[in-house]
Amino acid sequence: QVQLVESGGGVVQPGRSLRLSCAASGFTFSTYGMHWVRQAPGKGLEWVALIWYDGSSKYYADSVKGRFTISRDNSKNTLYLQINSLRAEDTAVYYCARRQRSRLDYWGQGTLVTVSS
């Protein structure tokens, strides 16, 4: 069965960096595009980034462009999100999700990032 497991969240001071990981199993990871989506406490869903199945193309929400970098290692079946210059407004649960054409058909359980001094 498809499984996506995020890790790497925690409490981080403003201005620091963090790398989130998403370990995939139960499907051929190298043939699917992948998304990151976040959700601030008590708020709605916000799309963050998309990476092509082979890593050749990457797309970002305007709100994170320049600070966030999505990447993947298909040999390790793992998706990453590098977050630099963390701000209080980056506090959220970060989900990875599998791209199935225009939809997100499988989601991980999320990892919480809290930006606080």
- State the residues that interact with another protein by CB under 8 A: 35, 37, 44-47, 50, 57, 59, 61-62, 95, 100-105, 107-110
Nearer to another protein, 66 or 103 (CB): 103
Cβ neighbours of residue 113 closer than 8 Å, sequence gap 6 or more: 9, 10, 12, 18, 20, 83, 86, 90, 91, 92, 93, 94
Nearer to another protein, 80 or 95 (CB): 95
Give the nearest distance from C-beta 87 to another protein in angstroms. 21
Which secondary structure element, helix H or strand E, spans residue 13, and what is its range?
A: none
Nearer to another protein, 22 or 86 (CB): 22
Nearer to another protein, 45 or 88 (CB): 45
Q: How far is CA 25 from CA 13, 34, 70, 117, in A?
A: 32, 13, 19, 35
Give the nearest distance from C-beta 22 to another protein in angstroms. 12
Please answer whether residues 43 and 61 qualify as being in contact, where contact means their C-beta atoms are separated by less than 8 angstroms.
no
Give the nearest distance from C-beta 44 to another protein in angstroms. 5
